[in-house]
Amino acid sequence: METGDGGHKKWGFRANNACGITVRGVLETLMDATNPEDERQTIPLGHGDPSAFPCFRTTKIAEDAIVDSLRSAKFNGYASNVGFLPARRSLADYLSRDLPYKLSPDDVFLTIGCTQAIEIVMMAFARPGANILLPRPGFPYYEACSGYRKLEYRHFDLLPDKGWEVNLQAVEALADENTVGMVIINPGNPCGSVYTYEHLKKVAEIAKKLGILVIADEVYGHLTFGKNPFVPMGVFGSIAPVLTLGSISKRWMVPGWRIGWLVASDPNGVLKETKVVESIISCLKISVCDPATFIQAAIPQIIEKTTDEFFNNVISILRKSAEFVYDQIKDIDCLTCPNKSEGAMFLMVKFNSTLMDDINDDTEFCLKLAKEESVIILPGTAAGLKNWLRITFAIEPTSLQDGLLRLKAFCKRHAKK
Ligand SMILES: *Cc1c(COP(=O)(O)O)cnc(C)c1O
């Protein structure tokens, strides 16, 4: 018999229910809500995986790198726990291009996508009483991961009126002697923000003052198309130690290849001194799963040979799509967008339910939209911000236009008369 909290009268065991919501889970629920009788194609404006769209197909250089690596028959065995050395070396060089110091291959650890990099960080810092500071809105995998590692998390707000910058006073107020670090996602998911050099420097200075490290999720690194260029947090690694997280999933549009990295961007060696690096290595050993060897072995070729033409083309499509969505949203009364998207592949828009006849919040909005228009949008609640919506524009431009037309028709139909 159930006792309400998952407990049982007869059996004493109980699962850890701290895993919480995931973006994927919410999107699946919305997909299930679509009407099977609607003959129109479902338009996915909620996901973060553009790989299925012909205009975002990855470069042939990356595909060839995988084929070459596989056909060589040299990479069929287990890899080492920290990753294949030539891949770590080429990533160290790639990431050093934007830094005022040089990373060594020993600073780089290969992971199964950026996702495993997040997991390893949470694992390395989870200990009784410790806490970590997370952005709100943010990427719910951090909450899920801290939850099941029993690492307490506390939220600081990102400020929509200031281009989604970090509320630095809030960070200071939240931290205590048990705080290990703060997470920054730049370019931002879900906000599409790109932080300035000055703001990132302030983040590093606050971290230094508090004696904590910065965990920089740069999975959307270089995917910028607004006024601010991408500045890696590691640039400020001499102010406060930085753990940089990334992957080829987003910039190369191959999230299914599952390869990412965790990098100590720490020229002063604080993370070695405090044995954080040691702990990361033992967590990688314990987790005993590493990215497929032949994909690791393809990394040098992917990183070194991909041409700017591929990147520039992707950026140009994203820039046009971001502008298009921003302009279309202006025509919809119940939605407002305080900031144009300048990076990643998302836009956050605010939903005003008081203008609606029969829709009370973001979740209801997204459910009804899925049901009536077969358009999927992520409710802000899933990213920690109620009555906002996250729109992904990284889809085929023609589908995006269709999606926005349906969104407009939907909002009009449900508006208060
Ligand atoms: C997609 C995403 C990840 C996960 O990246 P993978 O390489 O697919 O594991 C991590 N953080 C953020 C903010 C993301 O959007």
Q: Write the DSSP assignment of 222-253 as a string of letters.
A: T-B-SSSPP--GGGGTTTS-EEEEEESTTTTT
Beta carbons within 8 Å of 282's beta carbon, 6+ residues apart: none
Write down the architecture of domain 61-305 according to CATH.
3-Layer(aba) Sandwich (3.40)
Whole-number Å distance, alpha carbon 220 to ligand 1 midpoint, is: 8
- 213-217: strand order across its sheet: 108-111, 260-265, 242-247, 213-217, 179-185, 131-136, 152-159, 165-166
For the Cβ of 189 lying below 6 angstroms from any atom of ligand 1, the answer is yes
Region(s) of the chain under CATH 3.40.640.10: 61-305
Report pLDDT for 243.
98
Pocket test for ligand 1, best of 193, 243, 247, 295 (most atoms within 8 A of CB): 247
Q: Rounded to an integer, what distance in angstroms lies between the CA atom of residue 90 and that of residue 85? A: 9
HSE, side-chain direction, 13 A CA sphere, residue 221: 22
For the Cβ of 114 lying below 6 angstroms from any atom of ligand 1, the answer is yes
Residue with tokens 């919506």: 389
Alpha helices in 263-307 (DSSP H): 270-273, 276-287, 293-305
- For the chain, 417 residues long, the average pLDDT of each consecutive 10-residue run is 62 68 87 95 92 96 98 93 94 98 97 96 94 97 88 97 98 97 98 98 98 98 97 98 98 97 97 95 87 97 97 98 97 96 97 97 97 97 96 97 98 96
255 closest CA partner among 21, 5, 23 = 23
- 388-392: strand order across its sheet: 43-45, 375-379, 388-392, 346-351, 335-336
Report pLDDT for 5.
59
For the Cβ of 115 lying below 6 angstroms from any atom of ligand 1, the answer is yes
Pocket test for ligand 1, best of 250, 258, 392 (most atoms within 8 A of CB): 250
> Cβ of 390: how many Cβ atoms within 10 Å?
26
In terms of Cβ atoms closer than 10 Å to its own Cβ (0-12, 13-18, 19+), residue 28 is exposed
For the Cβ of 113 lying below 6 angstroms from any atom of ligand 1, the answer is yes
Beta carbons within 8 Å of 172's beta carbon, 6+ residues apart: 206, 209, 210
> Cβ of 288: how many Cβ atoms within 10 Å?
8
Q: Whose CA is nearest to atom 5 of ligand 1?
A: 114
- pTM beyond 0.85: the answer is yes
H or E element in which residue 157 lies: strand 152-159
Report pLDDT for 74.
96
SS3 content of the chain, % helix, strand, coil (to 5): 45, 15, 40
Per residue in 67-108, pLDDT (tens digit) is: 999 999 999 998 888 899 999 999 999 999 999 999 999 999
Pairing state between β 388-392 and 131-136: unpaired
HSE, side-chain direction, 13 A CA sphere, residue 310: 17
Report pLDDT for 4.
52
The reply to whether CATH 3.90.1150.10 applies to domain 8-57+309-414 is: yes
Whole-number Å distance, alpha carbon 184 to ligand 1 midpoint, is: 13
Region(s) of the chain under CATH 3.90.1150.10: 8-57+309-414
As given in the structure block, the two tokens for residue 85 are 């050395």
Q: Whose CA is nearest to atom 15 of ligand 1?
A: 189
Atom of ligand 1 nearest to the CA of 115: 9
266 closest CA partner among 328, 325, 213 = 213
Pairing state between β 346-351 and 260-265: unpaired
Report pLDDT for 3.
47
* Burial annotation 314-336 (CB, 10 A radius, 16+ → b, else e): bbebbeebbeebbebbeebebbe
Atom of ligand 1 nearest to the CA of 188: 13
Q: Rounded to an integer, what distance in angstroms lies between the CA atom of residue 29 and that of residue 399? A: 21
Report pLDDT for 16.
61
Report pLDDT for 2.
46
In terms of Cβ atoms closer than 10 Å to its own Cβ (0-12, 13-18, 19+), residue 208 is middle
For the Cβ of 49 lying below 6 angstroms from any atom of ligand 1, the answer is no
